[in-house]
Structure 1
Amino acid sequence: MTEDSTTEDLLKRIYDEAHKGRQQPQHDNGMLIGDKLRFLLAERRYLVVISGLSCKTMLNRVRASLPDDNNGSRVVLILDIESEEVAWHANTMNNQGINGVHQLSRLDEKRSGQLFYSRAFRKEQSGRKEDMSKYNKIVYDITGGYRLAIVVLAGLLRFKEKPGQWEAVLQQLRLGPGMEEEQDGVGNKIIQAILSKEKSIEWQTRPAVRANMSTKRTIERVFWASFEDLPNDLKSCFLYLAAYPKNVIMHANITVFMWIAEGFIKPQKGKIMEEIGHNYIKELVLRCLVQVEEMNAAGIITKISVHKSLHGFLHSEAHEAGFIEVHDIHDAFVPPSVRRLSYQSLDGRFTIFTNKFHKLHSFICYVEYRSIYSTGLCKKYCHDLKFLRWSMFLRLISVRGLRLDRLPDEIGDMVHLRYLRVECRNLKKLPSSIRI
């Protein structure tokens, strides 16, 4: 699930997955999605796995939409530590006596090595019979057994020559004196709650153990090393993903087009720019810095996301490097000298910028659709982008979710503009200065 998913989205996705290979019932026209799902799963044994659910109300609606036929059906929730309240709420629904919460512990030395090897080698290297156990301890010392740190480290070494470059990187990351204490904590950001629907009255969980700072520090050190190893062009492409909120799924094609408009992708002989951009995405995936969310039948990556535990580091690095300014309604002051500006809102609100951004090259706006169109307030006002009329050096404009009825006329006269994407339901007409 993403942060902007609604209960209807979730139920529809469950319904679509459960409905694969079945004929469409003739009598379900006009039925609510919850009723359709309950009818589809009635008297069937099912296992539903949901990741990222963070709202008790949504959990209640999902629970009400799943039939309880005492046949061993199960629901598995994979939750963040921040969603502990949801786990406790699930406690009121679980079958009495069932231990429904299981904290995913860190891997031991041997299993850390196994996960590392599975990610570090390319296909042509996977058949090697050499003894790799000598790396088990150092991989475990560096990562502390945290899965995300292990796969990011593996993604880094995947692009290094072994053994020389491997040894250099591992030696650099090896824990030094005074670091051992940071690795003594027990904590993990993921909780897995198994919810039994044998009886819908009582669910049982245990309170989650708060993840301590060692998790963040361990992953951050490995992430930093992997990020610094990126070629400059690819580093810019990766930093650009900070323009989107956490947990947002991005379309690969759109991302590549934006990279091209920004000038991050340099021409290569015999290749078109889009091909180079998709190769960049593949490399970020192989380095475990980007996750694949969807692939088409031909095996081409179509949707991607940044792991939520890496998104914070990505956002911090983009800010510290002055690469992009990310703002929301609570942080509306933007320096006039900004070159790249990202405005993010998941509650539908949009700020009014009063500054003139003469040096602005890119404006990316991501506002949640449903929150703005689900209230009557949307009928009383419209947003506007008048502040962009003074930004004549704009190369890219990407706007999603605003209630816009028009764009500034000056946009058509921006000779540097390479990319314009507007996903706004109320926009009916483009300015006459824009010629298609």
Structure 2
Amino acid sequence: MAYAALVSLLRTLEESPQPMQQIPSDLLEKVHRLLGILDDPATKNNLSIRDLEGKIRDASFEAQDIIESLISTHQLELSKSVSSGVCSCFWDIISALHDLFPAIHLCETSTDSMYQGMNLEAKGLKRVIDELDFILEALSMINDGKEDAPGAGNSRAADSSRSVASNESLPVGLDEDLLHLKDRLTGLPSNLNIISIVGMGGIGKTTLARNLYNDRLIEDRFDTRAWVVVSQNYHVQELLTILVNSTRQDGGEVHKKSIEELAVRLHKNLKGRRYLIVMDDVWDVKAWDGVKRYFPDDNNSSRIILTTRQSEVAIYPNPQSPIHQMTLLSPKSSWDLLRVTIFGQDDCPYALEKIGWKIAENCKGLPLAIVVIGGLLSRDKKEEDWKRISRDVKSAIGRNDGDQFMQILSLSYNSLPHHLRACFLHMGLFPEDYEIFVSHLIKLWIAEGFIKPLPVESLEQLAKDYLSDLINRSLIEVRRRKHNGEIKTLIIHDMLRELCLKKAEDEKFLKIVNSDCHVFPQGRNNHRRVSVHNDSLHPITVHDQHHCSLLYFCDGHSNNRLVFLIVSFRMLKHSLVACINVQTLESSNFSCSSKGDWHVRSLQFISTIEHLDNAKLRHLLFDKGFLPSPFLAKAILKHLVVLENLQTLSGLKNFRCTKAVLEIMPNLKKLGIRYVYDGSTEWSAYEFNNFIHLHKLETLKCMFIAKDNVAREPLSLNLAFPLNLKKLTLSGCRISWEEMTVIGSLPELEELKLRDYAFEGSVWEPNEGEFTKLKYLLIDRNKLEHWYADYTHFPQLQHLCLNHCFELEAIPTEIGDIGNLEMIELFRCRSSVVASAMLIQEQQQSLGNEGLRVRVNSYRDYVDSLDSTSLRQRAYARGL
């Protein structure tokens, strides 16, 4: 993780307070030089450079620790010049904290002792710089040696990664794939066509291609065939040699020919003949560029099959030709493959079948995993042994050809450029089968310092680009999308997660702490990221001064349980050590990068509040967060906190939106608040009209609920929204439909979600000229009976979603005249509403508009969709 460590150090250096005399001026230059070397594609697979990466990583981490210590000391030095009134106020806050939360114990460190340590830190930094000089000199010597780069080296082009048996003669679960691709091989078009098969490692791409290649019909159809395994390290001359030898008509072989001579021979061998070429395991578009010109197109239906793990490579040869995306096997196909692998054409004993189904299911549809575990089960067919294996399939795979299995999957990791490796390994921090929200993942990557800034793009956009690259490389899978097609959630296959954990262990990148490990020890050599997966009632204590992030997860059965975390973060190690009492709600995580980009969930209070103004705070994510007392809020506002970089603030409870508080967050883009009505506090006390002062706010979510059995009162209309608002979600407001003009007049509003009686009344008739940019409208749970609207009220609407609208009689027919309307989605609505939606679709089809779709989801459809997700996964998915 040398690259990620350097990027994080770079951010620390660039954002450190100036002047910082203790930081050598040439350190920044050395970091830039090292990043430039690692950014060079030629260094990606250079083994000599890879050997130095551990030294680069360790030196970068040590430098970062020292610099942050100096920054902390620098901040304390500045605090001495602050008025005694402010200092007194700070310690009043600490005292108030102790009164409010007795579980919080604060240990003040002597300021004098910090200053005494500064010389030691300066010496340590000098030692690190000497180490970086040594590394740069070693890298220079390696580069002078001009070691071979991928594509021009001495690797064997035919070196296959298929050493683990794959039962290629038994294409179980690939029947439809075979039929589809046979049609493409034997049908139109008549010109040369490239068929790309893409999917994750071990999913069966080579098995599918091999069965096509050896099919009797395909053999008879083509005059000549050739198969070449490209692999990560290839040589164009060797690729051409294999192709020439495979397509020669005289049966001889060629040796020691130049690329030019081989190219002429290959073109001559193929000219005028219908040929089938399989290029298996292609990792780089340059491999295709190196040979494509030598394949003649005689308009005789010749074909080339290309297998790859990367969508970018699959699309490249012919962007107009659809790629064939491999999918994981269904549970039934998984069992069929496992059964055939173990028993061949014989029947499985009845006593083993149920256990076998469970084992197959635990392989999560990955054929390579099924074949490997099948090899183990075939050697021992005792019921008790199968039961033991079923309890931990991943460990069983590790014991049976585990090294070869991981070696195949590791090829995907080894092919990653340096800037993506940390992002991929970071996926291992999440629990197994966890559904990861993209918005939160991107924030975490930025906080961790994985994203190298560029002048032309924001960190958020760069993080999205990184994410797309990992998806295209078949390393992570899209689980859910938003209504506009953007990716909402992701998952990572269990076997790829195991790869993350193994690589992360080697890199000292992360540590998983579970219920079997209640205490994570101290020490400099510990991993800098800790993820706590707690499924029991046991408290877990984590204490280490070198963590840069800590994530905490618990399942749905652990709600309302106290979890104790002892944390001393590197940036705070000289000023504060705290025992934080955390109330968990479904799941929580806390991560703090070396630069203090914090993400917090389920923390009742941030114990290190005196550093927030220096933390470059970007995102605060709570489950239920609040300021403990008016006095404390006032003190923070007056003396300590200016959150200029804050972009996201969500999960607050009963947040009072005073103008003064909102003005300390001038760049806030996303705000989420939950208000609980207890019958004693007036809604007006929360001053909702001050939302208008958040001039850069783009997303606002407000939920209004009643406490216990208290009657929920309608929200008095004192709402005012900023003009730049693009997404608005309201729940439980009980405002009259007549007041909708407050929202309809927002000029930039694109997405509106009205949940749980957000508006009340039986009739809604929008005003013309409103909702001019609205693209998505959700109406959920209300008493609306009559809705009068047409294309003039929602001119840009693309997606209409109605949920639990039991009183609504029909959708206005004129809604169908909206030119951009693509989807009407209904869930548990009256049959008359469904009929009106179908009528709208029929009318539009009669007018030639085939783009409008109607989707009706019944309650049974909803329940069935949940059946495919485990209880554990659903519990986790509610969290992050």
- TM-score, normalization: structure 2? 0.27
Secondary structure at the aligned position of 2:356 is classed as: coil
Structure 1: gaps (5+ residues): 1-104, 119-125, 146-152, 171-187, 195-203
What is the aligned-residue identity percentage?
A: 15
**Change in CA separation of 1:414 and 1:161 when aligned onto 2, cut-off 3 Å:** same
Aligned Cα RMSD in Å?
4.9
Q: 2:531 aligns with which of 316, 337, 342?
A: 342
Instruction: Determine the C-alpha separation between the residues in 2 that align with 1:405 and 1:309.
Output: 36
**Residue 292 of structure 1: aligned partner:** 478
Instruction: Determine the C-alpha separation between the residues in 1 that align with 2:497 and 2:194.
Output: 35
Contact 1:396 1:419 in 2 (8 A): yes
Report matched runs for 1:33-432 at 5 Å.
108=171, 111=174, 129-130=192-193, 139-140=206-207, 157=282, 159-163=284-288, 191-192=331-332, 206-208=354-356, 211=373, 212=376, 213=397, 219-331=405-517, 332-337=519-524, 338=526, 339-347=528-536, 349-353=538-542, 355-357=543-545, 359-373=546-560, 378=561, 381=562, 383-385=564-566, 387-388=568-569, 390=573, 393=594, 395-400=596-601, 404-409=603-608, 412=611, 415-416=614-615, 418=617, 421-425=620-624, 429=628, 432=636
**Change in CA separation of 1:409 and 1:163 when aligned onto 2, cut-off 3 Å:** closer
Deviations, residues 239-291 of structure 1 (Å, cap 9, x unaligned): 11111111111111111111112221123353222111111111111111101
Instruction: Determine the C-alpha separation between the residues in 2 that align with 1:275 and 1:155.
Output: 33
State the aligned residue count.
280
Contact 2:596 2:615 in 1 (8 A): yes
Contact 1:344 1:365 in 2 (8 A): yes
Instruction: Determine the C-alpha separation between the residues in 2 that align with 1:131 and 1:347.
Output: 53
Contact 2:173 2:333 in 1 (8 A): no
Instruction: Determine the C-alpha separation between the residues in 2 that align with 1:251 and 1:266.
Output: 22
**Change in CA separation of 1:411 and 1:205 when aligned onto 2, cut-off 3 Å:** farther
Contact 2:447 2:598 in 1 (8 A): no
Secondary structure at the aligned position of 1:163 is classed as: helix
- Amino acid paired to 2:535: L
Q: CA deviation at 1:298?
A: 2.3
**Residue 120 of structure 2: aligned partner:** none
**Change in CA separation of 1:127 and 1:400 when aligned onto 2, cut-off 3 Å:** farther
- Amino acid paired to 1:208: G
Deviations, residues 300-325 of structure 1 (Å, cap 9, x unaligned): 11111111221111111112111112
Q: CA deviation at 1:163?
A: 3.3
Contact 2:451 2:462 in 1 (8 A): yes
Instruction: Determine the C-alpha separation between the residues in 1 that align with 2:333 and 2:175.
Output: 23
Q: CA deviation at 1:134?
A: 13
Instruction: Determine the C-alpha separation between the residues in 2 that align with 1:141 and 1:217.
Output: 24
Contact 2:482 2:488 in 1 (8 A): yes
- Amino acid paired to 1:192: K
Secondary structure at the aligned position of 1:108 is classed as: coil
Contact 2:600 2:621 in 1 (8 A): yes
Secondary structure at the aligned position of 1:360 is classed as: coil
Contact 1:243 1:324 in 2 (8 A): yes
Secondary structure at the aligned position of 1:316 is classed as: helix
Instruction: Determine the C-alpha separation between the residues in 2 that align with 1:293 and 1:250.
Output: 9
Contact 1:356 1:390 in 2 (8 A): no
Deviations, residues 367-386 of structure 1 (Å, cap 9, x unaligned): 2344233xxxx3xx563555
Q: CA deviation at 1:108?
A: 2.5
- Amino acid paired to 1:383: F
Structure 2: gaps (5+ residues): 1-166, 182-188, 199-203, 213-231, 233-278, 293-305, 308-327, 335-351, 360-372, 377-396, 576-593, 644-880
- Amino acid paired to 1:395: G
Q: CA deviation at 1:363?
A: 1.9
- Amino acid paired to 2:171: D
Contact 1:365 1:400 in 2 (8 A): no
- Amino acid paired to 2:461: E
Instruction: Determine the C-alpha separation between the residues in 2 that align with 1:326 and 1:127.
Output: 55
- TM-score, normalization: structure 1? 0.51
Instruction: Determine the C-alpha separation between the residues in 1 that align with 2:407 and 2:210.
Output: 9
Q: CA deviation at 1:192?
A: 3.1
Instruction: Determine the C-alpha separation between the residues in 2 that align with 1:215 and 1:364.
Output: 33
- More off after superposition, 417-426 vs 235-244: 417-426
**Change in CA separation of 1:111 and 1:269 when aligned onto 2, cut-off 3 Å:** farther
Instruction: Determine the C-alpha separation between the residues in 1 that align with 2:280 and 2:450.
Output: 22
**Change in CA separation of 1:127 and 1:305 when aligned onto 2, cut-off 3 Å:** farther
Instruction: Determine the C-alpha separation between the residues in 2 that align with 1:143 and 1:345.
Output: 45
**Change in CA separation of 1:321 and 1:384 when aligned onto 2, cut-off 3 Å:** closer
- More off after superposition, 330-339 vs 305-314: 330-339
Q: CA deviation at 1:390?
A: 2.9
Deviations, residues 326-355 of structure 1 (Å, cap 9, x unaligned): 2123223234324222222233544123x4
**Residue 18 of structure 1: aligned partner:** none
Secondary structure at the aligned position of 1:230 is classed as: coil
Contact 2:533 2:553 in 1 (8 A): yes
Q: CA deviation at 1:425?
A: 3.6
- Amino acid paired to 1:273: L
Contact 2:521 2:544 in 1 (8 A): no
Instruction: Kindly name which structure, 1 or 2, has the bigger radius of gyration based on alpha carbons.
Output: 2
Query: Which of 1 and 2 has higher RCO (CA within 8 Å, sep 6+)?
Result: 1
Q: CA deviation at 1:130?
A: 3.7
Instruction: Determine the C-alpha separation between the residues in 2 that align with 1:259 and 1:143.
Output: 40
**Residue 182 of structure 1: aligned partner:** none
Instruction: Determine the C-alpha separation between the residues in 2 that align with 1:434 and 1:234.
Output: 34
Contact 1:256 1:274 in 2 (8 A): yes
- Amino acid paired to 1:423: F
**Change in CA separation of 1:243 and 1:221 when aligned onto 2, cut-off 3 Å:** same
Contact 1:324 1:341 in 2 (8 A): yes
